[in-house]
Structure 1
Amino acid sequence: MTALDIEIRRLTAADAAIYRDIRLEALRANPEAFGSAFETESVWPVGWFAERLAGGAAMLGAFRGSELVGTLGLLKADGPKRQHKGILVGMYVRPAARRGGVGRRLLDAALDLAAQSVELVQLSVVKGNEPAHRLYQSAGFVEYGLEQRALKVDGRYYDDILMAKDPIGA
Structure 2
Amino acid sequence: MGLGSSIGRMEYVIRGQRVDEWREVKELRLAGLLDEAAPIAFLETYENALARPDAFWQERAERAAAGVEVKGFVAEDGDGRWVGSVTVLVEVPGGAVEFASQAKVPQGHLVGVYIRPEARGAGLGEKLFAAAMEWAFALEEPRLERVRLYVHERNGRAETLYRRCGFVRTGHTLPADVGGLEVEMAVERP
Q: TM-score range by the shorter chain?
A: 0.7 to 0.9
Greater Cα shift, 77-86 or 138-147: 77-86
Count of residue pairs the alignment pairs up: 164
Compare 65-74 and 11-20 and name the one that shifted more: 11-20
Separation in 1 of the partners of 2:130 and 2:24? 22
Structure number with the bigger relative contact order (C-alpha 8 A, sep ≥ 6) is 1
Q: How far off its partner does 1:146 sit?
A: 5.0
1:84 maps to what in 2?
Answer: 106
Give the match for residue 53 of structure 2. Answer: 45
Q: Aligned-pair distance for 1:5?
A: 1.4
Contact kept in structure 1, 2:71 and 2:87, CA below 8 Å: yes
Question: If each structure's helix is expressed as a fraction of its own residues, which one has the higher value?
Answer: 1
Alignment of 1:1-170 (within 5 A): 2=7, 5-29=11-35, 30-55=38-63, 56-65=69-78, 66-79=80-93, 82=103, 84-117=106-139, 118-145=144-171, 147=173, 149-152=175-178, 157-168=179-190
Separation in structure 2 between the aligned mates of residue 8 and residue 46 of structure 1, nearest angstrom: 25
Q: Secondary structure at the match of 1:128?
A: coil
Cα root mean square deviation, aligned: 2.0
- Residue identity (%): 29
Shift of 1:32: 1.5
Gaps of 5+ in 2: 1-5, 64-68, 96-102
What amino acid is the match of 1:27? L
Q: Measure, in 1, the Cα distance between the counterparts of 2:115 and 2:136.
A: 20
* Residue identity matched to 1:52: R
CA shift, 1:121, in A, is 0.5
Cα shift at 1:104: 0.8
User: Structure 1 residues 27 and 146, CA, compared in 2 at 3 Å: closer, same or farther?
Assistant: farther
Shift of 1:86: 0.8
SS at match of 2:184: strand
